[in-house]
Amino acid sequence: MWIKDFIYINKLTLTRSVKALTKNPALLLLGIIYSFVQIGATMVLGRIPIIGGMFLAIIYGMIVSHYFYLLNEVTLGVGKCHIQDVKIAVKMYFFKVYGVMFFFFIAQLVLGVFFGGNAVIFNVVLILAFILLNALPETVYQKHYDTLGSLRYSIDFIKESYIEWFIPNIIFVFIILGLQKLQIGISIFNFIPSGMISLNFSSILFYFIQQIIFMFVMLYRGMLFNILTTTSKHKRNFDRQMRRNG
């Protein structure tokens, strides 16, 4: 029963992800746009002590808000996203994203104060946070909670659906690690790949490969999260039987 449900979930997720990406090929250009914005902002504001860092955090928060807005449009509706809705997009999730970034900033400071000298404990806490808050991006843009509520929901979701969630995500992690060996950096909050430091053909090619894979992974995660949080095993079993009989 579990295996059938797992296969059904991932078949449905894969179909929806491919369909969404096919309908929205412009999403593959987002990383390029975000990269130029981040590079420009860093070049200008990175030279200004303290205040420059604060404005950079605001700009990063707006970029991620815009990104989450488009993911939400595509994931929940499997429809056409509208990249030009910049004014709405940068504000939609800004305070939640900025709140999460601020929370992690404070958490790192506290960890540094109490466990900065103990690398083992520090790394264990980071690994636990990575596991328990793994679905935080999807929680932020798909669920209507504030910062702390999003953190709690993400933890509860992982506790309930850790097997269904982590099996495909572990595969993605290995793919990402493989890309990083090719000097391609991937991060939800940083769209500048290390491979773009040198502007040669191979670096540019790897950059586009990164964008395709990264966007597909985020769409897959979003679709999977939506299915797991809006359906039950009983309902999915019923739908599967109906499709088979139909």
- Between CA 126 and CA 197 the distance in angstroms is 28
- Number of domains forming the structure of the chain: 1
Tell me, rounded to whole angstroms, the distance of Cα 209 from its chain centroid.
Answer: 17
- Report the distance separating Cα 185 and Cα 195, nearest Å: 7
Hey, what amino acid is at 31? G
pLDDT digits (tens, 9 = 90+) for 37-75: 888 888 888 788 888 888 888 998 998 998 899 888 888
Q: Is residue 193 part of a domain?
A: yes
The answer to the question of residue 212 being in a domain is yes
Residue 71 located in a structural domain: yes
Q: Which tens digits make up the pLDDT trace of 33-45?
A: 887 888 888 888 8
Q: What is the residue range of 173's domain?
A: 2-241
Nearest to 216 by CA among 13, 38, 11, 2: 13
CA proximity to 103, closest of 92, 113, 95: 95
**Spatial distance between the Cα atoms of 243 and 245, rounded to a whole number of angstroms:** 5
Does 246 fall in a domain? no
> Tens digit of pLDDT for each residue in 89-148?
888 999 999 999 999 889 888 888 877 677 788 888 888 998 999 999 999 999 999 999
CA distances from 209 to 27, 31, 140, 196 (A): 13, 11, 26, 12
Helices 94-115 & 51-77 angle (0-180, nearest 10): 120
pTM over 0.95: no
> Is position 167 within any domain?
yes
Contact 191, 38 (CB under 8 A): yes
Higher-confidence residue of 2 and 11: namely 11
Is residue 192 one of the residues assigned to a domain?
yes
Q: Taking all residues of the chain, what is their mean pLDDT, rounded to a whole number?
A: 82
CA nearest 5: which of 244, 245, 246, 235? 235
Tracing tokens 């935080």 back to the chain, one arrives at 136
Dist. CA 162–CA 170, nearest whole Å? 11
